[in-house]
Amino acid sequence: MRQLDILVLSDLHLGTFGSHAEELLEYLQSIQVKTIILNGDIIDIWQFKKKYFPDAHFQVLNVLIEKICQGTHVYYLTGNHDDLLRRISPIKLANFQLVDKLVMEIDGKKHWFFHGDVFDSLVNHSRFVARLGGKGYDLLIRLNRLINNILKAFGRPPYSFSKRVKASVKKAAKFISDFENTAAELAMEQAYRYVVCGHIHEPVIKSLNTEEGRVIYMNSGDWVESLTSLEYAHGKWSIYSHHDARLNHEMSHLEDKVLV
- Please report, as ranges, the residues that interact with Mn ion according to CB under 5 A: 41, 79-80, 199
Of the candidates 31, 136, 20, the one whose C-alpha atom is nearest the C-alpha of residue 8 is: 31
Which one, 144 or 219, has the nearer CB to Mn ion? 219
Give the rounded distance of the alpha carbon of 140 from its chain centre: 21
* In the complex, least distance from residue 81 CB atom to Mn ion, rounded to whole angstroms: 6
- Residue with the closest Cβ to Mn ion? 199
* In the complex, least distance from residue 239 CB atom to Mn ion, rounded to whole angstroms: 19
Which one, 79 or 134, has the nearer CB to Mn ion? 79
Q: How far apart are CA 231 and CA 240, in angstroms?
A: 7
Q: Exposure of 106 by Cβ count < 10 A (0-12 exposed, 13-18 middle, 19+ buried)? A: middle
Q: What angle do CA 194, 196, 200 make, to 5 degrees?
A: 140
Which one, 35 or 80, has the nearer CB to Mn ion? 80
* In the complex, least distance from residue 209 CB atom to Mn ion, rounded to whole angstroms: 26
Which one, 80 or 97, has the nearer CB to Mn ion? 80
Half-sphere exposure of 159 (CA within 13 A, CB side): 15
* In the complex, least distance from residue 190 CB atom to Mn ion, rounded to whole angstroms: 21
* In the complex, least distance from residue 228 CB atom to Mn ion, rounded to whole angstroms: 15
Residues 178, 123 contacting (CB under 8 angstroms): yes
For 16-49, give the DSSP string: STT--HHHHHHHHTTEEEEEEEEES-SB-SSS-B
* In the complex, least distance from residue 213 CB atom to Mn ion, rounded to whole angstroms: 28
Of the candidates 175, 182, 178, the one whose C-alpha atom is nearest the C-alpha of residue 137 is: 175
Which one, 41 or 225, has the nearer CB to Mn ion? 41
Which one, 194 or 221, has the nearer CB to Mn ion? 221
